[in-house]
Copies of this chain bind each other. A is one copy, B any other.
Amino acid sequence: MNDSANYAPCAKPLEIPPRTLLGPGPSDVAPRVLQAMGQPTVGHLDPSFVKIMDEVKEGLKSAFRTRNEMTFPVSAPGSAGMESCVVNLLEPGDTAIIGVNGVFGNRMAENARRAGAHVVLVESPWGRPVDPARIREALRANPGARAVGFVHAETSTGVCSDAQAIAAECHAHECLVIVDAVTSLGGIPLEVDGWGLDAVYSGSQKCLSCTPGLSPVSFSPRAMARIAARRSPVQSWFLDLSLVAGYWQDSEQGGGGRTYHHTAPVNAVYGLYESLRMLHEEGLEAAWARHQRVHEGLCVGLEALGLELAVPASCRLPQLNAVKIPEGVSDADVRGRLLAEYSIEIGAGLGPSRGEIWRVGLMGSSASPGNVVRFLGAMEQILDRSGAVHAADAFFDHARPAR
């Protein structure tokens, strides 16, 4: 890096290539969100910032469809949101049942082990959903299990699990429900209160199309009661909800106001505010419908290209499309050409599906007919095939959104 005697770090002006982000996230960030990020920094306890925090909490409650007071963005990426849910709810010796059907279920299980929990895995094949019936069996076999955890929208495979059905099994056993909604929030129906989910975490950079770095979370009153009844302190000071709460909520300890815990990433919160503003301008259900329609247009185009999706239609995520790599086609070459010649990013497979699938994300601002057509046009060139753009165009002409 710095072999040369004349080398000086960070000497050149930043050069950011324009990209179309059609990978597993981050998604394209709207110019108005970027503009919000660039507003002047104020103090993390400034009265004007406290108002923004309150609005962001309300905006997230609305997006999560919850009245949970403890709804806020963790000041770190989705992986920290996952850890926040796990280490606050689980104590050493607790049993946690984790449904695993991809990378992020495994990650949740590893988090639970590191929190000292006894982890019972309920594994499904990658590319298939977590099975509610098998969760029920695990609950019966492990009476007194503290929590069931699973991924709603598996970003590694493009599979949607039936969060409502799994949660219903948990309720029958009075077991807490931890849900990874990193890729689902804002893209597909997610009903935190309606489905009775207890601890839910997401990411700012997926279907909310904010910059990466924040993890929206929501904790039910049941979850908060569990945390209040803990026998041991939460192992993470930074993620300890009982401390974080004093910063994100008015507390008596703070004289009715806010108590310093850590310094929030002020400008990132500005960005999240603006992306929530965009979501609510469009309407949450309209955003879900847009993701579905754009996905369907992609499917029509992929079919015209002779490409197949790896996930059955019954459990496909519209916002994350696992496309089978055809035999004889080089994974790396295609992704490399898309990036180098078309400035389009798509994702490789993660873990065992590397080389087997591409992950084509249509999340948030990236979920537009224009991006589908741009991607299909590039693929026509790279694979030397045709007809995809035409097919997708015809689909979108036919399936214009209701006004």
Contact = CB atoms under 8 A, between A and B. Distances in A.
B75 A77 contact: yes
A260 to B, nearest CB: 7
B79 A10 contact: no
A37 interface: yes
Contacts of A238: 76-77, 79-80, 82-83
Contacts of A10: 55-56, 58-59, 273-274, 276-277, 280
A213 interface: yes
A197 to B, nearest CB: 20
B107 A263 contact: no
A120 interface: no
Given A14-B273, A26-B44, A79-B262, A236 B39 contact: no
Given A8-B280, A267-B211, A17 B42 contact: yes
B37 A19 contact: no
Contact of A83 (B25, B34, B237): B237
Interface string A1-36: 110000111110111111101010110110000111
B14 A114 contact: no
A34 to B, nearest CB: 4
A389 interface: no
Instruction: Name the prevailing secondary structure of the A interface residues.
Output: loop
A152 interface: no
Contacts of A19: 40, 42-43, 46
A263 B77 contact: yes
Contact of A211 (B1, B41, B111, B261): B41
A40 B48 contact: no
Contacts of A36: 14
A270 interface: yes
Contacts of A77: 75-76, 238, 262-265
A237 B10 CA distance: 30
A345 interface: yes
A54 interface: yes
A285 interface: no
A60 to B, nearest CB: 8
A326 interface: no
Given A9-B280, A21-B43, A48-B16, A79 B237 contact: yes
A54 B1 CA distance: 8
A78 interface: yes
A186 to B, nearest CB: 13
Interface in A345-359: 345, 350
Contacts of A157: none
A114 B236 contact: yes
A65 B331 CA distance: 42
A143 interface: no
A237 B274 contact: no
A176 B393 CA distance: 63
A194 to B, nearest CB: 18
B280 A345 contact: no
A267 B37 contact: yes
B111 A237 contact: yes
A142 interface: no
A339 B238 CA distance: 29
Contacts of A235: 114-115, 235-236
A344 B107 CA distance: 45
A345 B46 contact: yes
A89 B358 CA distance: 38
B29 A41 contact: yes
A334 interface: no
Interface string A265-300: 111101101101100100000000000000000000
